[in-house]
Amino acid sequence: MASLASKHSISTASVHRPAPALLAPRVLPQRHCPVHARSSLADKIKHSLDFNKKGRLEVIDKLYRNPSKASLEAVLADDFKMGEEGYTKKFTKAGGCGAVLADDFKIGEEGYTKKFTKADYIGLTAGVVLPAIPDFKWGHACSGDVDDDGFCIVTVQATGHHTGAPLAMPGLEPLPPSGRHFCLAEEVQKVKVVGDKVAEIQVLPNKGAGPRALYAALGGKAPSQAAAAAAAAAPPLP
């Protein structure tokens, strides 16, 4: 009888044995992905062989650190150009595919919405900003690495005090010196360095940076539509 009971218990236990737990599918970390590994290795090799990186950083530092008419004349190429990126052509919803497009849909062709020369850049910086804001500073950060399009990515932030001359931004009422301190929002600028010169700057506009943001930070009121258009034509610098 004891033997039968034992067999019965064993049989019962085997019937009610819980099912084995299911293993979750294994997800390989990204570092094990061969494509990612090749890309990372290629980037490392590219950057390790970039013998011009130190020189580029020196040029970029000259551009932003303690700007003056003389320093800008020296660091900017004669054919220097600057632009603010945006839509050069804009199109609305009107036309085909209306059923699937939002009412405020827009599409555009990217390019420079504004273009400026070396003289424009120096004129605004040395002729307008520095006389009004003697301690004007660009905080800037850049790795020195070059993207595939030949540009370095630089994050900048403008600060200073309005203690000098009235601030006379193009198309805006002059602001008398108030002693106010300002610290504008960070802005991304793409800088192309050729040799020991800055050949081009592309500005990625940010609402809290630029001439109008500086004007507002120093107490300026919103301009009229005509004045706003004139201000918008100013180079995209504080």
Q: What is the pLDDT of residue 196?
A: 96
Token readout for 203 is 């500005």
pLDDT tens string 17-64: 555 555 544 444 444 444 444 456 555 555 556 678 999 999 999 999
Distance CA 230, CA 13 (A): 88
Q: Which domains does the chain have, with CATH numbers?
A: 52-87+107-232 (3.10.450.50)
User: What is the per-residue burial (b if ≥16 Cβ within 10 Å, else e) of 35-66?
Assistant: eeeeeeeeeeeeeeeeeebeebbebbebbbee
Token readout for 9 is 């218990």
Q: What is the pLDDT of residue 32?
A: 46
Q: What is the pLDDT of residue 171?
A: 81
CB 183 within 8 A of CB 159: yes
Token readout for 83 is 């632009």
Predicted TM-score (pTM) of this structure? 0.66
CB 201 within 8 A of CB 190: yes
Indicate the average pLDDT of the chain: 78
Helices H, strands E: what count in the chain?
A: 8, 7
- Tens of each residue's pLDDT in the chain, 238 residues: 455 445 454 444 445 555 555 554 444 444 444 444 445 655 555 555 667 899 999 999 999 999 999 999 999 999 999 988 754 445 555 555 555 666 666 554 445 557 889 999 999 999 999 999 999 999 999 999 998 899 999 999 999 999 999 999 888 899 999 999 999 999 999 999 999 999 999 999 888 998 889 999 999 986 655 555 666 666 665 4
Q: What is the pLDDT of residue 10?
A: 47
Distance CA 114, CA 118 (A): 14
User: Pick from 210, 135, 133, 221: which is nearest to 177 by CA?
Assistant: 133
Token readout for 13 is 């236990």
Going by C-beta distance under 8 Å and a sequence separation of 6 or more, which residues neighbour residue 25? none
Distance CA 130, CA 164 (A): 8
Distance CA 73, CA 49 (A): 31
